[in-house]
Amino acid sequence: MNAIHLKKGFSIRIAGAPERHLHRLNTPDHVGMVPEQIPFVKPRLLVEEGDSVSIGTPLFEDKRNTRIRFLSPGGGRVKRIVFGPRRIIRQIVIALDKDEPCEAFDVPTVEQLDAIPRQALVDTLLAGGMWPFFKTLPFMDLADPDTVPPSIIVRLGNDEPFGPDPVVYLKEQEDRFGLGMDLLNKLCDRVVVNLTGDESIGSALPDQAVIQRYTGCYPAGNPSVQLYRIRTGSEQNRAWFIDGQDVILMGDFLRTGRYPVQRIMTVGGSLAPTAEHVSTRAGVPLRLMCNGGLAGEPAARTIVGGVFTGFAGSPDGFMGFYQNALNLLDDGDREEPFGFIRPGANKPSYSTAFLSAFRRKPFPMDCGQHGEVRACVNCGTCARICPVDILPQFTMKCLVADEVEEALAHGLLDCAECGLCTYACPSKIQLREVFQAAKAQYYKEIS
Ligand code: SF4
Ligand code: SF4
């Protein structure tokens, strides 16, 4: 298998990588959904506080397409629904029963899968709450059930440092993964497994799988970056992608006819009590994930998802629908006396101006900005690091000047939202956030 090497990017040496061993978490007494963290979805509640629900009962639907529904990750009673400003739905909390009831869905057998029409399969996935696992590039919105994509990319490897390792979640799940791949092949003629990381995983995949291996620094595992490197026509920009672990869930759903709630997640970062993989369930409380460490560690910032792309969690929060990693990092929100003359031996940075450039060992990364925001100094760092060559400084200036067409011409839509430019910018400009917001705004205007 020939690998495509992605030359641009940057590997950050941060401490707290999760070990590969799998720790089984205690069963939570409640689970939750966090609708506000699902991009673009306009949720309409289908339950009220006090309602009884089963695993697989619809909790909310997307107002833009009411066939797309998000199902309950637990069976019991709706304990609490937390609203934010303008009635945005922050959390739906389910208190679990001891014997959780579970919805049964009508699914085709393995033998029927060959003969079932594509539309019937789409309807089955919509009814079973599996559809939201498909996302569309370049905006990362949910896939449109009424379209056929040019290709489906299966992401097998880490998109971010410290995400679940396929070696761990594929172990003894090869059959379910194969069944999930059969399902994907019914939805689209071209399904490609984009593999990063451990090459040995390839041997665990079904024989018929089309595998493309990628090597390189972060974000070599990002489907947008991978597509940017191999695409031969603009029609390929609308590819769908799905995470490897979610393909296993597809297989599980087909095999059991039940909404699957088991997940392999990671706890990482330099303040994690134990950096490891954990076997748990969807919507698990953050407090359980880090073993109560949130309360005892006031300086810890809890990041649900990747260190560059996740969202800040609170002690009463839950893992998100798409997030399978929890990172605990030092908040870093403190003054650094005479920071400008310190040699920075312990400071992870893209810049080679610090002594840390000579250190090969991982660093305890923190969330501090280490300086004030200032104007762009045209250093070109962001252009050197950006894996999709969009010249971030010029694209950002176009957006600031409201020249959206110009920003699009620079390749705004190719931005993989990886966050490297924000990390590396010496002027502390939040480039990723600017591009993410601009892409979302443009998408809303053309939708
Ligand atoms: S512009 Fe920034 S966030 Fe976007 S792909 Fe390039 S480095 Fe990543
Ligand atoms: S890294 Fe920051 S300061 Fe340097 S060119 Fe890019 S935006 Fe400007």
Which atom of ligand 2 has the smallest separation from the CA of 379?
A: 4
User: Does the CB atom of residue 382 touch ligand 2 within 6 A?
Assistant: yes
131 shares a domain with 7: yes
Look at residue 332 and tell me if it is in a domain: no
CA angle 22, 26, 30 (to 5 degrees): 125
Residue at a domain's end among 216, 237, 256: 256
Instruction: State how far the Cα of 165 lies from the Cα of 157, in Å rounded to an integer.
Output: 6
> Which residue segment(s) compose the domain that 404 sits in?
369-446
Pocket of ligand 1 (CB under 6 A): 385-388, 390, 392, 415-421, 431-432, 435
Least Cα distance to 240 among 169, 205, 188 occurs for 188
Sole residue written with tokens 């939202």: 417
Look at residue 414 and tell me if it is in a domain: yes
Contact status, residue 133 vs residue 187, Cβ threshold 8 Å: no
Closest-approaching ligand to the CA atom of 308: 1
Ligand 1 centroid to Cα of residue 383, in Å, is 9
428 torsion bin: left (phi>0), alpha (psi -120 to 50), beta (else): left
Instruction: Tell whether omega for the bond before 138 is within 30 degrees of 0, i.e. cis.
Output: yes
246 shares a domain with 391: no
To test the pocket of ligand 2, the residue of 351, 376, 410, 420 to mutate (highest count of ligand atoms within 8 Å of its CB) is 376
Instruction: Determine the 3-state secondary structure of 5 from DSSP.
Output: strand
Ligand 2 centroid to Cα of residue 386, in Å, is 11
Instruction: Quote the pTM value.
Output: 0.93
| Closest C-alpha to ligand 2, atom 1 | 425
Contact status, residue 407 vs residue 442, Cβ threshold 8 Å: no
Look at residue 226 and tell me if it is in a domain: yes
252 shares a domain with 131: yes
Residue at a domain's end among 191, 224, 256: 256
pLDDT at 338: 74
Look at residue 220 and tell me if it is in a domain: yes
Ligand 1 centroid to Cα of residue 431, in Å, is 8
pLDDT at 293: 52
Phi, psi of 155 (to 5 degrees): -85, 110
Look at residue 343 and tell me if it is in a domain: no
Look at residue 91 and tell me if it is in a domain: no
Ligand 1 centroid to Cα of residue 433, in Å, is 10
Contact status, residue 159 vs residue 305, Cβ threshold 8 Å: no
Instruction: State how far the Cα of 142 lies from the Cα of 251, in Å rounded to an integer.
Output: 20
245 shares a domain with 110: yes
Which atom of ligand 2 has the smallest separation from the CA of 427?
A: 3
Count Cβ atoms within 10 A of the Cβ of residue 241 and give its class: 0-12 exposed, 13-18 middle, 19 or more buried.
buried
Sole residue written with tokens 């699957």: 260
Count of domains forming the chain = 2
Q: Where are the beta strands (DSSP E) in 46-174?
A: 52-53, 58-62, 65-71, 76-83, 89-96, 135-136, 141-142, 152-156
Look at residue 304 and tell me if it is in a domain: no
Could you tell me the two tokens for 228?
């940017």
Residues 6+ apart with CB under 8 A from 137: 153, 223, 224, 227, 237, 238, 239, 240, 241
Look at residue 169 and tell me if it is in a domain: yes
Question: Over its length of 447 residues, how does the chain's per-residue pLDDT go in tens digits?
Answer: 678 999 999 988 888 999 998 999 999 999 999 999 999 999 999 999 999 999 999 999 999 999 999 999 999 999 999 999 989 999 999 999 999 999 999 999 988 998 999 999 999 999 999 999 999 999 999 999 999 999 999 999 887 889 999 999 999 999 999 999 999 999 999 999 999 988 788 777 887 789 999 999 999 999 999 999 988 888 888 999 999 999 999 999 999 999 999 999 999 988 888 899 999 999 999 989 876 555 445 567 889 999 889 999 987 899 999 999 999 988 877 777 777 777 777 777 887 777 777 777 888 888 887 778 899 999 999 999 999 999 999 999 999 999 999 999 999 999 999 999 999 999 999 999 999 999 999 999 998
Closest-approaching ligand to the CA atom of 392: 1
User: Does the CB atom of residue 425 touch ligand 2 within 6 A?
Assistant: yes
Instruction: Determine the 3-state secondary structure of 40 from DSSP.
Output: coil
Ligand 2 centroid to Cα of residue 196, in Å, is 29
| Closest C-alpha to ligand 2, atom 3 | 376
Closest-approaching ligand to the CA atom of 436: 1
Closest-approaching ligand to the CA atom of 218: 1
Q: Which residue type, as a one-letter code, is found at position 107? A: V
Residue at a domain's end among 256, 276, 298: 256
